[in-house]
Amino acid sequence: MENTINDVFRNRVARYGERIAVEKKRNGFWESVSWNEYYDRARFAGLGFYSLGVVKKDRISLLSENRLEWLYTDIGTLGIGAVVVPVYTTLTADETAYIVDNSASKILVVENGFQLEKALEAKKKCPFLEKIVVMNEEDIRERYPYIMSFRELLETGEKVHSKDSFLFEKLAGDVTPDDLATIVYTSGTTGLPKGAMITHKNIMAVIRSLDRIKPGFADENDNTVPFLPLSHVFERAAGHYYGMYVGITASYAESIDTLLQDFKEKRPTMILAVPRVCEKVYQNIIAKVQEQPAWKQKVFYWGHGIGMQISELREKKAPVPAFMKIKYKIAYFMIFKNLQEALGGRVRWMTASGAPTAREIILFFNAAGITVVEGYGMTECFAPATMSNLADYKIGTVGRPLPGINIKISEDGEILIKGDNVFSGYWKMEDETKNSFTEDGYLKSGDIGMFDKDGFLTITDRKKNLIITSGGKNIAPQKIENLFMSDPLFSHFVLIGERRKFLSALVTINTEQAQRIAHEKRIPFTKPEEIFENQVFLAEVEKHVAEKNKHLAKFETIKKFKIIKSEFTQETGELTPSLKLKRKVVFDKYRDLIDSIYE
């Protein structure tokens, strides 16, 4: 019986031995390790921490992009009964110090010199921090007593193992399901991050639930090319731990910039992505089509229409007429095959979880033979709570609750969740923990949703995000924003309207699309930002808005908009590390601009 992730790891190593377990591309080359090598390095990392005084329940913070050392640190830490605290690399030095200090981490593992600078700042503010471990040894400029390289950590752990060859197995065996495995700090759209306490039981509940869904999502013959950060619960739960559970080979991409090349080299059978990735792929395709001659555009949209019809028939489980099959075969080879081949040629499904995705985008991917899996979850239930079924889904819903997870809707429409996947509370925040649960033990999600007659859950919006206009209309912004985001002209679209007479929007523009329009309309410019002020361009944007307004009820239409010239990013504060919008930050930052819309 496998009760902890330690049990799973030990058993998969015994099963797969010298088969490749994980690999990472660095500087253009793939570094691969077998299951046996993976175990040795994780064991040495764990025992290295043990030799530094880390004991059961102590915390180790981990500040790094996806690397093999990230995996060794994670599994090695769990193996000695300690707790992993992942930290996003995009956080500032102050934000990093807050998490390290709040979690009272003894060790901070960092990737490189840039992250080491943050760690050195944190050392001044974190009295519990005893050691900084650096993956890139060449980035250690000064040899302080409290700094060591990851290589030295492994060597230390290997020496400990040589003296007691069963110590790691003993420590791993002492870990129980109720022991804390990780503290995941919510990226937070407002306020300070909160540390969600996730136990081994929570982790096992998620991976067992995913494995019970039939047809299965994956088996030992599958492989992935992960690119989402391991610091985020979605990649860690559905990619790292579930992948380990079913024996997937994971080939971690070098970077977002090399992703398509990495896909071609490793040819994944599944892709874990967030909606923004799907949106960008689709928008890029449409943008390229718009650059083609009229006859080629006509051919594309003919095939596009056939693909949409096929996808809708599949969704309804309806038979496809023989003549339609012939037309689809032509459309597939002319259009959709290119998308499949760009992703390696073998992808069966990909996720678009964490936020809504426009229906037309999902239909497009489905027409390429890539089933888009929608799901819903949150950090507090270690990622997924619901998931679409590969054989039974409804686009626009997030599927049904995972096996073993109970979900109900409160009187005011809030989604309430109960199950072994639900966290044990927030670290050092008893009041916040108490307020997060109902009296009968359900987690308050903060999201509004509803079940249909077939048990499929639809997310309406965040409870706090619902807009009530001055006319008393209740409006869910995500639905409308999602519609506009299917247009490649917009890179972000933020709905405004709380206690206002009408709806408006703040938008950021795809600069490539703006330049294309500028060339077509002969708009002079020396830099893209100048285009956004041109009246001819603004008239074109008005047309795009008017086209999308046709699909909305009158009270939902966008009456005015303002263009924000700079893109939203994590660095400028408008996006979380998982690329979700921080509405409060946007509203505060652009309050004067918003007020000017209604003057």
Q: Could you please report the per-residue DSSP string of 540-554?
A: HHHHHHHHHHTTS-G
How far is residue 311 from each of residues 306, 324, 387, measured CA to CA in Å?
A: 9, 12, 19
Q: 3-state DSSP helix/strand/coil percent for the chain, to nearest 5?
A: 40, 20, 35
Q: Any residues with CB less than 8 A from the CB of 76 and at least 6 apart, and which?
A: 41, 42, 43, 44, 45, 46, 47, 48, 49, 157
Q: Any residues with CB less than 8 A from the CB of 29 and at least 6 apart, and which?
A: none
CA–CA separation, 531 and 518 (whole Å): 7
Q: Any residues with CB less than 8 A from the CB of 414 and at least 6 apart, and which?
A: 444, 445, 446, 447, 448, 463
Classify strands 29-34 and 249-252 as parallel, antiparallel or unpaired.
unpaired
Pick from 288, 283, 277: nearest CA to 487: 283
Q: Where are the domains of the chain?
A: 5-175, 378-459, 467-597
CB of 424 closer than 8 Å to CB of 399:
no
Helix axes 93-102, 113-125, angle to 10 degrees: 50
CA–CA separation, 51 and 406 (whole Å): 43
Per-residue pLDDT at 187: 60
CA–CA separation, 327 and 145 (whole Å): 70
Q: Which tokens hold the place of 44?
A: 């040495």
Per-residue pLDDT at 160: 98
Q: What is the dihedral of CA 9, 12, 14, 15, to 10 degrees?
A: 180
CA–CA separation, 498 and 507 (whole Å): 17
Classify strands 474-475 and 414-418 as parallel, antiparallel or unpaired.
unpaired
Q: Which CATH class is domain 378-459?
A: mainly beta
SS (H, E, C) 164-191: CCCHHHHHHHCCCCCCEEEEEECCCCCC
Pick from 63, 59, 144, 72: nearest CA to 102: 59
Long-range contacts of 312-321 (CB under 8 A, 24+ apart): 312/363, 314/366, 315/366, 315/393, 315/394, 315/395
CA–CA separation, 181 and 177 (whole Å): 9
Number of Cβ within a 10 Å radius of residue 321? 11
CA–CA separation, 13 and 236 (whole Å): 19
Angle at 191 between CA 188 and CA 196, to 5 degrees: 50
CA–CA separation, 126 and 105 (whole Å): 8
CA–CA separation, 349 and 329 (whole Å): 20
CB of 190 closer than 8 Å to CB of 588:
no
Q: Return the CATH number of 5-175, one of 3.40.50.980, 3.90.650.10, 3.40.50.670, 1.20.1270.10.
A: 3.40.50.980
Per-residue pLDDT at 190: 46
φ and ψ of 86, to 5 deg: -70, 140
CA–CA separation, 367 and 360 (whole Å): 10
Per-residue pLDDT at 117: 96
Statement: 467-597 belongs to CATH 3.30.300.30: yes
Q: Taking the model in full, what pTM does it have?
A: 0.84
Reading the chain (599 residues) residue by residue, the pLDDT tens digits are: 899 999 999 999 999 999 999 999 999 999 999 999 999 999 999 999 999 999 999 999 999 999 999 999 999 999 999 999 999 998 889 889 999 999 999 999 999 999 999 999 999 999 999 999 999 999 999 889 999 999 999 999 999 999 999 999 999 999 999 999 999 998 654 467 899 999 999 999 999 999 999 999 999 999 999 999 999 899 999 999 999 999 999 999 999 889 999 999 999 999 999 887 888 888 888 888 888 899 999 999 999 999 999 999 999 999 999 999 999 999 999 999 989 998 999 999 999 877 778 888 999 999 999 999 999 999 999 999 999 999 999 999 999 999 999 999 999 889 999 999 999 999 999 999 999 999 999 999 988 899 999 999 998 877 777 787 766 667 878 888 888 988 889 999 999 988 788 899 999 999 989 899 988 889 898 888 889 989 999 999 999 999 999 988 788 899 999 999 999 988 888 887 767 788 888 988 999 999 999 98
Per-residue pLDDT at 473: 67
CA–CA separation, 85 and 81 (whole Å): 13
Amino acid in the structure at residue 3: N
Helix segments in 146-191, DSSP class H: 150-163, 167-173
Residue 560 forms beta bridges with which residues?
504
Q: By three-state DSSP, how is residue 350 classified? A: strand
Pick from 316, 317, 371: nearest CA to 340: 371
